[in-house]
Structure 1
Amino acid sequence: MISKNSVFLIVSSFLLNTHTMADEKVILGAESTVQQYIPVAVGLNVGSLGYGATLMWDTDTSVGVTLGYTHHELWYNKDVSTSLGTWQRQSTNSRSHFLHVEWKPWQVQSKLLLKSSYLSVGAAYLQQSYALNQPDHERSGIIKSNQISPYIGIGMRPMLGLHWGWLAEMGVHYIPQPSMFLSQETAQSIWVKKDRWLPVAQIGVVYHF
């Protein structure tokens, strides 16, 4: 037969457990995504340096890292001044591998566009080749240039929903004055008069995991 002390202990334990469960927070309707654990996004973009793809990692709420690649091929005529005279550029093949660090200083702002804006600094490894000819002298050749170019820019990357967003960015590359090798000359290096500042712009779509 159960004693009064046993009944008292059972009732006390039940009431204590009920009180403890009532104090626990219950979360209903929450959606768990990879973004909570791995803040990574991928993007497809097109711009003045061509088309490409990016991989973005938000290391902090205000700091991110972007790794990307772009490529383009253009066919057009343009005069290029060199130490061997004026040549006509007929096509350009350009590739860019870049690494940027992004800083978002306006995270506390309520406006979406300002909150999603960022400053970007980094560098790119630019690989460029130009098909040239001199119709008057019946000469042709290819100029190639591979160099690291510092970069600074500003952009915005607002979200349109839980996963999708878009980006827009503009900036400028600094390109040291290159010495380039003309393939169909006597193995000599030539100087090409080229702008040291290369403005760039791009737009794209972003998917956050």
Structure 2
Amino acid sequence: MKLRMLVAAAALATAGSVMADSAVVKDGYEFHGNQLVPSGVRAEVGTTGYGGALVWTPNSKVDVVLGYNGGDISWSDDVSVDGTKYDAEMDNNVAYLNAQIRPWSNWFYMAAGVGYIDSKYDLKGRPGSDGEIKLDGKTFGADVGNVIGKLKYGNDIAPYAGIGFSPAINNRWGVFGEIGAYYTGNPEVTLYNTGSQDALDVNGTTTAAEALANQRKKLQNDDEYEWLPVAKLGLSFRF
């Protein structure tokens, strides 16, 4: 769906440039059809996946960027709550529209915009080499088994803010780096264990089911997970 959105946007931009074969003057502002033609493209990879973008440059201080990031990215111990470490496998789907403002017309820019977020994370926690696993800050034995879960960001449309730099290699090619975050709101979370739900912690006070319910609430309500961090690097080309 997101790829179709990008293709449609590019098609509209191209069609608009063909139709606007002469300058339109309205309210003292002169608009040229070639302003609808992208001024460049870029390829990028980062925490929200890999993908690319179309770039429009109305003037030396502003770029408008329409892009898409997706794909599976995995690493270990990505999410940690009260001592429980989860391996996270990410299924990223992010389409975005940003304005990049260069206040000093140099490499530095500030980015602001919106993203369509449809990213999901598969979580898996395992007992350690000692056969123990922590749930909600309490220690359980191996009879709990593995802990399986899913985390999904609930806000489809999320505001974005970031900063970046984009030095030029020559008059056509350049590189860029950017960090920022989407405000996504609290995620939706499910957690369950593959072993006994009635297994008690080592102190005999809490069952695995109770501990997982508490941990799910913390993941869903912790301010830390209201933000989806972004860090990306890429290569740009100007037409």
Q: TM-score range by the shorter chain?
A: 0.5 to 0.7
AA of the residue aligned to 2:90: N
Residue in 1 that maps onto 2:202: none
User: 2:123·2:151 contact (CA, 8 Å) conserved in 1?
Assistant: no
Residue in 1 that maps onto 2:89: 92
AA of the residue aligned to 1:116: W
Equivalent residues in 2 for 1:1-209 (5 A)? 38-71=37-70, 72-77=72-77, 80-81=80-81, 88-95=85-92, 96-107=94-105, 115-124=106-115, 125-133=117-125, 135=127, 136=142, 137-146=144-153, 147=155, 148-182=157-191, 190-191=216-217, 192=219, 193=222, 195=224, 196-209=226-239
User: 2:149·2:189 contact (CA, 8 Å) conserved in 1?
Assistant: no
Deviation, structure 1 residue 120: 0.5
CA distance in 1, matches of 2:78, 2:170: 44
Higher Cα radius of gyration: 1
Q: Share of identical aligned residues, percent?
A: 26
Deviation, structure 1 residue 143: 0.6
Deviation, structure 1 residue 207: 0.8
Deviation, structure 1 residue 133: 4.0
CA distance in 1, matches of 2:36, 2:159: 32
In the alignment, structure 1 segments of 5+ residues that lack a partner are 1-34, 108-114
TM-score relative to the length of structure 2 = 0.55
Give the total of aligned pairs.
Answer: 164
In the alignment, structure 2 segments of 5+ residues that lack a partner are 1-33, 128-141, 195-208
Change (3 A) 1:183 1:54: farther
CA distance in 1, matches of 2:65, 2:126: 41
Report the 3-state secondary structure (helix = DSSP H, G, I; strand = E; otherwise coil) of the residue aligned with 1:59: strand
Change (3 A) 1:61 1:144: same
CA distance in 2, matches of 1:139, 1:61: 54
Deviations 1:129-158 (A, max 9, x none): 123246441254331313343221122223
- Runs of 4+ in structure 1 off by over 4 angstroms are 182-186
Change (3 A) 1:154 1:36: same
Change (3 A) 1:150 1:104: same
Deviations 1:71-93 (A, max 9, x none): 342131356449xxx75422321
AA of the residue aligned to 2:102: K
Structure number with higher helix proportion: 2
Change (3 A) 1:37 1:162: farther
CA distance in 2, matches of 1:66, 1:126: 19
User: 1:44·1:53 contact (CA, 8 Å) conserved in 2?
Assistant: yes
Change (3 A) 1:139 1:161: closer
